[in-house]
Chains A and B, each alone.
Chain A
Amino acid sequence: MNDFDYAKPVTLSEAISTYKKYGDKARLLLGGTDLVVMLDDGVIQPDIVIDLKGIDELKKLEFDGEFLHIGSRVTFNELIDSEVVKEKFPVLWEASKTVASTGVRNRATLVGNICSAVPSADSAPALLVCNAAVVIATDSGDKEVPITEFFVGPRRTILKPGEIVKEVKIRASNKKFGGSYIKLGRYDGEDLAQVGVATVVNEDREYAIAFCAVAPKPVRAKEAEEFLKGKDLTDEVLEEAAKLAVKAISPISDIRASKEYRLYVSGVLVKRSLKTSLARMNGNGPKYGERLV
């Protein structure tokens, strides 16, 4: 680990100006579950670490009747403990429970998870199928970006030095719906996903499908969604949907799984997830948070 300066601003504008001053020599700290590991390994060697945990407004976790606002300091365990998240945003709730371990979730934040932008980010597929938006604070005011445009590549987002994610915003669905997130790891212990799949279906037979860990960035499977629109999930339809869905991904082989296994199992999981989502919408599926494979 190299030496670096440490700043703990108490306002967002202060944080932004420090960040602007140091540019790409600065790193932002929230839970630190990714950052500190990278610092320790020497993978990153910033001149300054700006700790955002002193900024009160980032602690917000509230539902205003239309939108859920998840401030960047909100941890995964705070999401899991939130009744409104569990009730109105159950896919995000289910995905949050698969992130690492209790100890990590006590510190790790959802915003930190998407800003790290690892291809296997567990929160990303859920945010993608919920059409979340990312609110970014800059020195010229806030801007809002759809989550689909947020990720650029492995560990890369659209964020520029001086831009700080303030919150993630999700509109509550006013339709009857069901959803699910399935994470496949090498074992039941804490692991990065080999494949992660989230799906949502609503009463109008509109579908959303998203993956993590099987492409350079978390992706939606638009072609499969279009194909499914208005259809019932017969076995034939599911088969075809799975085929189209895996066209959206481009997995690699690594220590956790081969490309071939990831492609195959993505197809399996997308079918499981769609079936589960439909069953949940109809009130006869497994409870959210239950083991689905």
Chain B
Amino acid sequence: MGEYKYIGKSVPRVDAAEKATGHIKYMSDLSFPNMLWGKIVRSKYPHAKILKIDTSKAEALPGVVAVVTWKDVPGLNGFGIVVPDQPVLCEDKVRYIGDAVAAVAAETKEIAEKAANLVEVEYEPLPLVDDPIKAISEDAPKVHEGGNVHLHTKIVRGDVEKAFEEADLIVEHTYYTGRQEHAFLETESGVAKLEEDGTLSVYAGSQYPQRDQMQLSRCLALNPRKIHVVSYPVGGAFGGKDELTIQPILGLLALKTKRPVKIVLSREESIISYWKRHPMIMKYKTGVKKDGTLVANKVEIYADTGAYASLGGPVLNLAVEHACGPYKLDNVYIDGYCVYTNNGVAGAFRGFGVPQVTFAMETQMDIIAEKLGIDPIELRKKNALRRGDVSPIGNKLTTSVGTVAVLEGVKETDLWKNKDKIEKVDKERPWIKRGFGFALTYQGTGLGIGLPDYGGAVLRFREDGGFIVGVGIVDYGQGTGTSYAQIVAEAMKCPVNKVSVILGDTDLTADSGPTSASRGVYTGGRAAIIASKRMMKILKEKAAELLSVSPEDLEAEGGYFYVKNQPDVSISYDKIAMEFLKTSGHLPQTEGYFLMPIADIKIKDAFGLPHHIFAYSGHLALVEVNTLTGQTKVLEGAEVVDGGIVVNRQGFEAQVEGGYVMGMGYGLMEDVKIEKGIFKTVNFSTYIIPTVKDAPKRIQTVPVHDPEETGPYQAKGIAETVMVATAPAITNAIHSATGIRIFKIPATSELIYNLLKE
């Protein structure tokens, strides 16, 4: 580790200055001459037949330039990363309250809004499907003709029933989780613009420009080469901009009006219309021996995916894969259903199905530790998967497994060391009870098996001797761009400030797959190293030629090549750049591509499973519970994270802290309430997320690692795991404070009051 010059250091974000000064232009800031404003007409019913759409009054309004309906969709009237079952504009049926039915482009935002209200849609309401378990039954009303079960995944290993007979203790509970909103700062917004050569430019923050391009070409019946997608910079995403949102409608309006069209969603429209974290109902039955050895786990999962597929299927499969936690279990029965309902739409969200099952499994583990009188760390250590073990779903773990490193690291945190000194009951305020909680988790990196999963980077030599690295991955706040700059600087032996980064542009960057699944640093980083090695070879040869030595005699450092043992015989990168221009008229460019390594086997009937590389983390919480009001305050938190070697130390800290607070919101307060298909929490007055006042005073962040040789400088990825186990760490702490068990999150004051009353 010590030999790295830039990897592992604290490097300020490459975009820090332009963000701090407000100079950066997000897509919602863009403006073009002659630009129109778009407004989407959305369904007034959660489930209804469309009898008639009349746009005549809207069209007649002065200032309205175009009104589009399903009739105007030139290509496939459907999008969806896995199954394109979501209409761009609904034709005969609406399936949730935010479904798009028509859209308007007008000279001003106000006229567009007025016109949208003038679009008359006649509906015939259909019976509502709002309970994911009832929705499974044969006689339930159907959201889609093919039935309400979007995906059923079942994995059986060993014999759980026999193992339960041999267990000394069986713990059986049902768990419920809330519908979390991504709450990114920038709502779904952007501009589409038809260029003079017929290219459609789409500027809209998203997580995968090349896939947006593919989906848009399908909907708009345009050659993908005629679509230019710019998806960066983005004001936050967290999975909520993985799928298309407003882009196809923007495209339709721009094609029809031949003018730039802009849409900026209000917070209310954003919350109603697009993706949420899947609420899940999870039935757990876990069998364990007296000594703490887990022997069997039977799990049923019901995931409410709402009206359309999007990534609901893969989310369910990740929940299934991670349902047993990072523990050795030879007898498992995991039965998962991803179910259509009329409850909005659910899709990708940081953690991708894993926060739900982790809440359940880590509560099970806490109950087992308590009932058997075993230290919670020791119980986990006893069962923890290690490198070479077979996972609960049956694949051999041949890559880095950080369970033991994490558990050992946990013991070194201040919270763990001081946990026995906690004043359990406040002396001055005896109704205040304090407790400590812990939870462990892991998270697959990458897309799993069976999906094309690759990284790509293009590297250009600059005339000043610096480099430009172009990666399709998007930095929506997590700091990936800065990591790429550090990785290229390390590989090219030049200062970080000599590397500029281009992200998320179909014309300027290499396709590196989606910015999801904690894969950004791994894929783009590794591709950048490959491109750098090629670049280094080219530059070294040129330098050798110029210095009249052999390339083997050269070393690179700080933007110079010099002859080994003769540091005064050297040449700078900018001189080499000049020589290239003088002699050939161009500067070299290299590319790097690679395929993600995959597991040794495919899990039968479970698309995408298993993953091959995982990040691991242990989450700790010290809470105080007001037993009079039920309020919980997280006083202090800590996380021990194995995401491989840390690339940017300050980025690591920020991401861990952010993840912790997001996980805290998930555990204590966040839930988009939908009653009878209607949203009840559509803005930040009613839907609350933690503020700086709610965040713990301190979150200790501890990196540990079990080296992952395949990663760029042995990095893996931390984006998701850092939020995943915070909720159960907190609910386990609430138990330790009060004796009550939380089986449902968010654990609001009122929920805790009701449990205390019992």
Interface residues of A (CB under 8 A from B): 1, 3, 184, 186-192, 255-258, 261, 264-265, 268-269, 272, 293
- Shortest distance in angstroms between A157's beta carbon and chain B's nearest beta carbon? 22
B629 at interface, CB cutoff 8 A: yes
How far, in whole Å, are A189 and B668 apart by their CA atoms in the complex?
A: 13
Q: Is the CB of A189 within 8 A of B693?
A: yes
- List, sorted by A's number, 7 A–B pairs whose CB atoms are closer than 8 Å: A186-B748, A187-B669, A189-B691, A256-B686, A268-B628, A269-B629, A293-B629
Q: Is the CB of B631 within 8 A of A189?
A: no
Find A255's partner among B626, B681, B694, B753 (CB 8 Å cutoff): B681
Q: Is the CB of A257 within 8 A of B750?
A: yes
B710 at interface, CB cutoff 8 A: no
How far, in whole Å, are A179 and B639 apart by their CA atoms in the complex?
A: 42
Those of B32-73 within 8 Å (CB) of chain A? none
State the 3 A-B residue pairs at the shortest beta-carbon distance, nearest first: A189-B691, A188-B693, A261-B750
How far, in whole Å, are A264 and B631 apart by their CA atoms in the complex?
A: 14
B226 at interface, CB cutoff 8 A: no
Contacts of B629 in A (CB 8 A): 184, 265, 268-269, 293
Most buried by B among A186, A256, A258: A186
- Shortest distance in angstroms between A242's beta carbon and chain B's nearest beta carbon? 12
Q: Is the CB of B110 within 8 A of A191?
A: no
Q: Is the CB of B686 within 8 A of A293?
A: no
Contact A187 to B753, CB < 8 A, known contacts A1-B110, A255-B680, A268-B629: no
How far, in whole Å, are A184 and B628 apart by their CA atoms in the complex?
A: 12
Contacts of B748 in A (CB 8 A): 186
Find A187's partner among B110, B680, B691 (CB 8 Å cutoff): B691
Chain B interface residue count, CB cutoff 8 Å, equals 24
Q: Is the CB of A187 within 8 A of B626?
A: no
- Shortest distance in angstroms between B684's beta carbon and chain A's nearest beta carbon? 9
How far, in whole Å, are A264 and B628 apart by their CA atoms in the complex?
A: 9
B289 at interface, CB cutoff 8 A: no
- Shortest distance in angstroms between B724's beta carbon and chain A's nearest beta carbon? 21
Q: Is the CB of B673 within 8 A of A187?
A: no
How far, in whole Å, are A257 and B685 apart by their CA atoms in the complex?
A: 14
B589 at interface, CB cutoff 8 A: no
Q: Is the CB of B685 within 8 A of A293?
A: no
Q: Is the CB of A293 within 8 A of B690?
A: no
Contact A264 to B688, CB < 8 A, known contacts A186-B748, A188-B694, A255-B673: no
How far, in whole Å, are A256 and B110 apart by their CA atoms in the complex?
A: 32
Contacts of B749 in A (CB 8 A): 184, 186, 261
Q: Is the CB of A188 within 8 A of B750?
A: no
Q: Is the CB of A192 within 8 A of B750?
A: no
* Secondary structure dominating the interface of A: loop
A268-B629, A293-B628 are known contacts; what are 5 more A-B pairs with Cβ within 8 Å?
Answer: A187-B688, A187-B693, A188-B694, A255-B673, A255-B681
How far, in whole Å, are A187 and B630 apart by their CA atoms in the complex?
A: 11
Closest chain A residue to B628, Cβ basis: A268
Contacts of A256 in B (CB 8 A): 686
Contacts of A261 in B (CB 8 A): 749-750, 753-754
Closest chain B residue to A257, Cβ basis: B750
Find B685's partner among A184, A187, A192, A264 (CB 8 Å cutoff): A192
Q: Is the CB of B694 within 8 A of A187?
A: yes
Contacts of A190 in B (CB 8 A): 691
Contacts of A269 in B (CB 8 A): 629
Contacts of B633 in A (CB 8 A): 188
How far, in whole Å, are A257 and B748 apart by their CA atoms in the complex?
A: 10
Contacts of A189 in B (CB 8 A): 688-691, 693-694
Those of B555-570 within 8 Å (CB) of chain A? none
Those of B425-467 within 8 Å (CB) of chain A? none
How far, in whole Å, are A191 and B687 apart by their CA atoms in the complex?
A: 10
Contacts of A192 in B (CB 8 A): 685
How far, in whole Å, are A272 and B629 apart by their CA atoms in the complex?
A: 11
- Shortest distance in angstroms between A28's beta carbon and chain B's nearest beta carbon? 22
Those of B681-705 within 8 Å (CB) of chain A? 681, 685-686, 688-691, 693-694
How far, in whole Å, are A272 and B432 apart by their CA atoms in the complex?
A: 14
Q: Is the CB of B680 within 8 A of A265?
A: no
Most buried by B among A1, A265, A269: A265
Contacts of B693 in A (CB 8 A): 187-189
Closest chain A residue to B687, Cβ basis: A255
How far, in whole Å, are A258 and B749 apart by their CA atoms in the complex?
A: 11
Contact A187 to B681, CB < 8 A, known contacts A261-B753, A265-B629, A268-B628: no
Per-position binary interface string of chain B over residues 592-621, scored 1 when its CB falls under 8 Å from any chain A CB and 0 otherwise: 000000000000000000000000000000
Contacts of A188 in B (CB 8 A): 633, 691, 693-694
Contacts of A187 in B (CB 8 A): 668-669, 688, 690-691, 693-694
- Shortest distance in angstroms between A224's beta carbon and chain B's nearest beta carbon? 19
Q: Is the CB of A264 within 8 A of B690?
A: no
Closest chain A residue to B429, Cβ basis: A293
Q: Is the CB of A293 within 8 A of B631?
A: yes
Those of B628-681 within 8 Å (CB) of chain A? 628-629, 631, 633, 668-669, 673, 680-681
Q: Is the CB of B686 within 8 A of A255?
A: yes
